[in-house]
Amino acid sequence: MFNLVAQSVLSGIGIGAVYGLIGIGFCVIYNASGIVNFAQGAFVMLGGMLTNAGMTKLGLPLPLAAIGAILIVAISGVVLERIVVRPLWNRGSTMFVMILATLAAQIVVERITQILAGDQPRTLPVFTDLPPLRLFGFAINFQFLWILGCSALVIVLLGLFFSSTRTGKAMRACSINRDAAALQGIPVSRMLALAFALSAALGAFAGILITPTQYTAFNVGVPFAISGFIAAIVGGFGRPLGAFAGGILLGVAQALAIVLLGAAFKNVAALSILLLFLFVRPTGLLGSAK
> How far, in Å, CA of 231 to CA of 264, rounded?
20
Task: Tell me the three state secondary structure of residue 20.
Answer: helix
Q: Is residue 144 situated within a structural domain?
A: yes
Question: Would you say 193 and 78 are in contact if contact means Cβ atoms under 8 Å apart?
Answer: yes
DSSP state of 216: B
How many Å is the maximal CA-CA distance in the chain?
61
Tell which residue, 220, 222, 234, 219, has the closest CA to residue 270: 234
Residue 140 lies in a domain: yes
Q: State the SS3 of 145-209.
A: HHHHHHHHHHHHHHHHHHHHCHHHHHHHHHHHCHHHHHHCCCCHHHHHHHHHHHHHHHHHHHHHH
**One digit per residue, pLDDT tens: the chain, 290 residues?**
667 787 888 888 989 999 999 999 998 888 777 788 888 999 999 999 999 999 999 999 999 999 999 999 999 999 999 999 888 888 877 888 888 999 999 999 999 999 998 889 999 998 888 888 887 777 788 888 899 999 989 988 888 888 888 888 888 787 777 778 887 888 888 888 898 999 999 999 999 999 998 889 998 988 899 999 999 999 888 788 888 999 999 999 988 888 888 877 888 888 888 888 888 888 878 765 54
**289: in domain:** no
Q: Does any domain span residue 274?
A: yes
Contacts of 98 (CB under 8 A, 6+ apart): 35, 36, 37, 85, 88, 89
Q: Looking at the domain assignment, is residue 287 inside a domain?
A: no
Cα separations in angstroms, 253 against 11, 63, 108, 247, 270? 11, 32, 32, 10, 7
Pairwise CA distance, residues 260 & 181, whole Å: 50
Percent helix, strand and coil across the chain, each rounded to 5? 75, 5, 20
Would 134 be classed as within a structural domain?
Answer: yes
Q: What is the tally of structural domains in the chain?
A: 1
Say if 178 falls within a structural domain: yes
User: Which domain does 253 fall in, by range?
Assistant: 2-280
Residue 205: give its domain's CATH number.
1.10.3470
Task: Give the alpha-carbon dihedral of 276, 280, 284, 288, to 10 degrees.
Answer: 180
Distance (Å, whole) CA 234 – CA 239: 10
To 10 degrees, the CA torsion angle through 151, 157, 158, 163? 150
pLDDT at 290: 46
The answer to whether residue 290 is domain-embedded is no
